[in-house]
Amino acid sequence: MSQPDNLQSVGGNAYRKTASGLSMLRETILGREQFDFAFKEYCRRWAYKRPEPADFFRTFEDAAGVDLDWFWRGWFFSTAQCDMEVTAVIRRQIDCGDPAQSAERQQRLDAPKPPNLALERDVDVPRRAERYESLLDFYETYDPHAVTEEQQEKFQKFLAQLTPAEKELLQFDMPLYEVRVHNHGELPMPLILKLEFEDGTSELRRLPVEIWRQAGHDVAALLVVPKLVTAVTVDPYNETADVNYGNNRFPRSIIETTLPLTKPEEKIENPLHDKLERERKAKAAAEKPDP
């Protein structure tokens, strides 16, 4: 909301940024129906008058019934930016307390751990304990994933105290995905998440901007998803004016570019001028008499 004399780019700030802000309000923040109603109400109230920006802000909030102070302050009264990054995606499974299921899950999680390098190099070295069984101790045959009778009895006593509804809740096996997002900028925006599944399909989840109210710059969204998620992208359609789209996807995508071997030409791109120039040359060649 600076005076034009203090702006380096009057067109960008007065026209393009304002138009982008109204587009975000209509398409993402409010929705078309709510935005159109509020805009018509603004036109009705201030027809043939001289409204100030504050009048537009107040009328819009009153007609839409939505608190938009965060948007006016960030988009029009500051140079705050929005740069959301998906920092982590964690798949969680309901733990019903069954020791057998817990042991199986832990064994599956321990499997991808890297092997011990020293043990791999000494795999062909004979061990003294193999020659003398008296050197073997308890941990030679100990299985940390084995389920004991005490654990099973404790779990059965726990089940006996539950109601049928609580027992049914323990059977919930749908995965929960915790999506962690960090905003490197100062402008909050609605959280738009595109979930890509293992079967090639995708789904869009929209969370309101109020999710940032108590979160600061970091927020975690817990989603119940019926399929296996392979990738998550925040703001997939560039609706929130994110200034860095390279960190919006998790896992990261490989960036493709070129390595020029020659010095690029210093030329100002003007496709319309180039098209007209080609047409002029073609017309001149067609009108040129044959020798």
Q: What are phi and psi of 190, to 5 degrees?
A: -55, 145
Q: State the CATH architecture for 84-90+173-250.
A: Sandwich (2.60)
Window from 103-107, 109-113, 141-145, 199-203 with minimum mean pLDDT: 109-113
How do residues 182-197 score in pLDDT, each as one tens digit?
999 999 999 999 999 9
Helix H segments across the chain?
10-11, 17-24, 32-45, 53-64, 69-71, 99-110, 117-121, 128-131, 149-160, 164-170, 271-287
Q: What is the pTM of this model?
A: 0.74
User: Where are the chain's structural domains?
Assistant: 4-76, 84-90+173-250, 96-170
pLDDT above 70 (res 3): no
The Cα 20–Cα 79 span in angstroms is: 14
What torsion, rounded to 10 degrees, do the Cα atoms 243, 244, 248, 254 define?
150
Q: What is the mean pLDDT of residues 83-90?
A: 95
Percentage of the chain modeled with pLDDT above 70: 97
How do residues 147-176 score in pLDDT, each as one tens digit?
888 888 888 888 888 888 888 877 777 889
The confidence score (pLDDT) of residue 274 equals 86
With beta carbons less than 8 A apart as the criterion, state whether 190 and 28 touch.
Answer: yes
How do residues 95-119 score in pLDDT, each as one tens digit?
777 888 888 888 877 777 777 888 7
Residue 88: closest CA among 285, 220, 272: 220
Helix (H) or strand (E) holding 219: strand 218-224
